[in-house]
Amino acid sequence: MSTLQVDVWRGAEAGRFQRFEVPREANQTVLDVVTYVQRRLDPTLAYRFACRVGMCGSCAMTVNGVARWTCRTHVAKVAGDGRLEIGPLANLPVIRDLATDMREFFDKWARARGSHAPTATRRDDFARVPPASPARAAADAGIECIGCGVCYASCDVVAWNPDYLGPAALNRAWTLANDVRDGARAERLRAVAGDAGCHACHTHMSCTERCPQAIAPTASIAGLKRATALAVLKGEL
């Protein structure tokens, strides 16, 4: 049975990679590897996981330089030469080892006005929204985001521009901008316009490349660019 050479980040922003030898199994995910290290080799290793079946996004880490869900990354796919490098997600402060501080990620979500502003009450009838309508189709294309942070960690503009709201927050704002029941459209467009918002996106498309839910935040951000431009030209922004 062969072994894996696994370099795991230890420490915070300042730290180093620590090498472990982990037995290689026939069916093994990167999360299995991290779990093995923490349970059998070094109990002081800090890492996050929850569902371990690709639904919650908690186990997102940097594997061989690329942000991924570790529970859905087979070792066979990424450790061709028997070597793995596992680190915390990029663009976020490191609490310890593989766990990052996600507060700014969610703060930016709020700053992008990424929450629904209701217009109906319990006394009103249900809203009727045809699923095939263009607005609903646009919203549905981005609605499956679970806030895992992979896109945010993959985005270089986030690294270069500390104020940039990032792909996830902007994608959520776009889904809400297309929600016919929402009442905060003008306010939301104002929140996502400008150097900290959608206009800082340079279409690197790393977010779209890496999103485990196959969402294309680039498409959503392009939509926001069009929507804000239209709003300015119509005098609404």
Partner 1 sequence: MSPRAEVKLWIAQRASAAVLALCVVVHLVVIVYAMRGGLSAAEILGRTRGNVGWLVFYGGFVLAAAVHAPIGLRAIATEWLGWRGRSLSVAVHLLAIVLAAVGLRAAWAVFG
Partner 2 sequence: MRSDFRARSHPAWWAFLVHRLSGLALALFLPFHFWALGQALAGPAALDGFLAWTERPLVKAAEWGLVVLLAAHLAGGLRLLALEFLPWRDWQKSLLAAAAGLTIVAGLALALAL
Tell me which residues touch partner 2 (CB under 8 A).
Answer: 9, 13, 62, 64-67, 87-92, 94, 141, 153-154, 156, 159, 202-206, 208-209, 216, 218-219, 222, 225-226
Question: Shortest CA distance to 1 belongs to which of 27, 20, 24, 28?
Answer: 24
Minimum Å gap between C-beta 196 and partner 1 is 9
C-beta of 62: minimal distance to partner 1 in Å?
Answer: 22
Residue type, 192: V
Least CB distance to partner 1 at residue 111 (A): 12
Which residues, including other chains, have CB under 8 Å from residue 10's CB and lie 6 or more apart? 16, 17, 18, 45, 97
| Cα–Cα separations (whole angstroms), residue 8 to 32, 111, 212 | 13, 33, 22
Buried b (16+ CB within 10 A) or exposed e, 88-98: bbbbbebebbb
Give whichever of 184 and 207 is closer to partner 2, judged by the CB atom: 207
The smaller minimum CB distance to partner 2, of residues 74 and 202, is found at: 202
Q: For residues 28 and 91, which CB has a smaller minimum distance to partner 2 in the complex?
A: 91
Distance of alpha carbon 149 from alpha carbon 52, whole angstroms: 16
The binder of 16, among partner 1, partner 2, none, by C-beta within 5 to 8 A per type, is: none
The answer to whether the CB of 209 falls within 8 A of the CB of 150 is: no
157 binds, among partner 2, partner 1, none (CB under 5 to 8 A by kind): partner 1
Distance CA(221)–CA(203), nearest Å, equals: 9
Residue 13 interacts with which of partner 1, partner 2, none, CB < 5 to 8 Å by class: partner 2
Q: How far is the CB of 67 from partner 2 (least distance, A)?
A: 7
Contact positions toward partner 1, by CB under 8 A?
Answer: 157, 160-161, 190-191, 193-195, 197, 199, 202, 225, 228-229, 231-233, 237
Specify the 3-state DSSP secondary structure of 134: helix
Q: How far is the CB of 98 from partner 2 (least distance, A)?
A: 10
**Contact call for residues 210 and 150 (beta carbons, < 8 A):** yes
Tokens of 148: 């895992």
Nearer of residues 157 and 184 to partner 2, judged by Cβ: 157
Beta carbon nearer to partner 2, 184 or 218: 218
Partner in contact with 38, chosen from partner 1, partner 2, none, beta carbon below 5 to 8 Å by kind: none
